[in-house]
Structure 1
Amino acid sequence: MTAPALETLLKRSDFLACARGKRQGTKGMMVQALNRGEGEAIRVGFTCSRKVGNAVARNRAKRRLREVARLVLPHHGRPGWDYVLIGSRDNTAERDFAALQDDLRQALRKLHG
């Protein structure tokens, strides 16, 4: 079985719809999830507010979130779902990368219960 494709959320309306879905916080990030019930792809978006830090810190946090999503979501995410990964201050950019992966796996387990 091949892993489902990952697509990136780009429209604000998709992010807002996902914000109305389920959410699960971990030490390294907040994960919002919404079952859109259609399609084979897993869609994922990334965001970091100014609370995370300056532009350099926000970009570093988003790069780390993108890589974690690329590694974890094809195996633990569900097709037809949208996920938004939100970086947290002082944790996303500094947290150990393996721990960040475990945070996403744990959040997905709780979301899909």
Structure 2
Amino acid sequence: MTDAAPPGRMTIEKLKKRSEYLACAQAPSCAKGAVVVQARPRGDETSLVRVGFTATKRIGGAVERNRAKRRMREAARALLPEFATPGVDYVIIARGGVLKRPWVRLLDDVKSALIRLAAERAAPQL
């Protein structure tokens, strides 16, 4: 993928380095239902959105963690084009109920977390 996106479209890439995940860990986060979403503005004006996914051993074994990350990837693929802010890195972290959560509720969790994080960034700081 490249930085140049067609007008009106954003480019979505995956976070690849541990340092990128650690930088997002210091950023504001929002926990909703079965997920936690962290969002770190990069400070550039590109139409690029980067996203990473994490599931800890508390979720279960490797099979369960991979299934949880697949569900979160699909939720991100469906929601980020509409609700993500360009120039922001996101990390979506699985919580305990992510595997048993109905698909519609999982989508709602991710969507409401993205909306809340965008509103917090847009709110004036006092």
TM-score by length of 1: 0.95
Distance 2:20 2:80 in 1: 18
Q: Structure 2: which 5+ residue stretches go unaligned?
A: 1-6, 120-126
Is 1:77 matched with 2:84? yes
Moved >6 Å (runs of 4+): none
Aligned-CA RMSD value:
1.0
Displacement, 1:14?
0.3
Please tell me the residue identity of whatever aligns with 2:114. L
Are 2:58 and 1:43 equivalent residues in the alignment?
A: no
Tell me the secondary structure at the aligned position of residue 51 of structure 2. Answer: strand
**Separation in 1 of the partners of 2:69 and 2:115?**
22
1:86 aligns with 2:124: no
Count of residues paired in the alignment? 112
TM-score, scaled relative to structure 2: 0.85
Q: Would the aligned equivalents of 2:9 and 2:47 in 1 still touch at CA under 8 Å?
A: no
1:8 to 7, 11, 14: 14
Task: Map Cα deviations across residues 63-90 of structure 1 (whole Å, 9 max, x no partner).
Answer: 000000000011000110000000012x
For structure 1, the residue ranges without an aligned partner over 5 or more in a row are: none
